[in-house]
């Protein structure tokens, strides 16, 4: 009799576990995203970091979906820097990865080389994800320094300046 009760209890427990495992995901999700104030601050810090090294750049900050939140263009930065900074930010947010690492991966891996054919992707250094904990809440793209690695340094310097707010 005890073994029947134990088996019955086990069956109820298994049925409850199966029902719980099959329950659908919540219909509404809660996600972190970058604020306008923080986006403006990161853009300003990126332009300032590059200016300190004599580089006239543009910086674009996008939210987690790749939508532009803030743009700053230094005096004397070329008009092309706007488009490159936006594409780098969008690419970084989309892939949740720094564009410099993506570029290097594409150069070394023939399969990853096809990323250059994705509409809107720009595999040049200077795009860096902005994270709150492990969650990507946006990205910053910098364009105009004499090398993508230098654009990336300015982007990282800007994120470092605001890390206490993330």
Element (H, E) at 60: strand 58-63
In tens, the pLDDT along 19-77 reads 555 667 789 988 999 999 999 999 999 999 999 999 999 999 999 999 999 999 999 99
Is residue 11, in this structure, part of any structural domain at all?
A: no
- Cβ neighbours of residue 153 under 8 Å, at least 6 residues apart? 49, 145
CATH number of the domain at 136, please. Answer: 3.30.450.150
Identify the three-state secondary structure at position 107: helix
Is residue 156, in this structure, part of any structural domain at all?
A: yes
Q: What is the domain range of residue 159?
A: 36-165
Predicted TM-score (pTM) of the model is 0.83
Q: Residue 60 CA to chain centroid, in angstroms?
A: 12
Is residue 20, in this structure, part of any structural domain at all?
A: no
Q: In total, how many domains does the chain have?
A: 1
Is residue 53, in this structure, part of any structural domain at all?
A: yes
In tens, the pLDDT along 22-32 reads 667 789 988 99
DSSP string covering 25-40, please?
Answer: PPSS-------HHHHH
């Amino acid at each position: 009799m005890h073994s029947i009760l134990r088996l019955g209890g086990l069956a109820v427990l298994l049925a409850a576990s199966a029902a719980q495992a099959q329950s659908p995901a919540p219909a509404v999700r809660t996600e972190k995203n970058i604020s306008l104030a923080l986006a403006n601050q990161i853009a300003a810090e990126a332009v300032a970091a590059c200016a300190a090294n004599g580089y006239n750049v543009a910086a674009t900050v996008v939210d987690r979906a790749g939508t532009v939140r803030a743009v700053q263009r230094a005096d004397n930065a070329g008009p092309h820097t706007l488009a490159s900074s936006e594409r780098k930010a969008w690419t970084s947010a989309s892939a949740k990865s720094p564009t410099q690492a993506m570029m290097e991966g594409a150069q070394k891996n023939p399969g990853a080389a096809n990323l250059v054919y994705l509409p809107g992707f720009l595999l040049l250094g200077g795009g860096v994800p902005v994270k709150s904990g492990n969650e990507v809440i946006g990205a910053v793209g910098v364009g105009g320094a004499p090398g993508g690695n230098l654009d990336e340094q300015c982007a990282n310097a800007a994120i470092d300046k605001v890390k206490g707010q993330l």
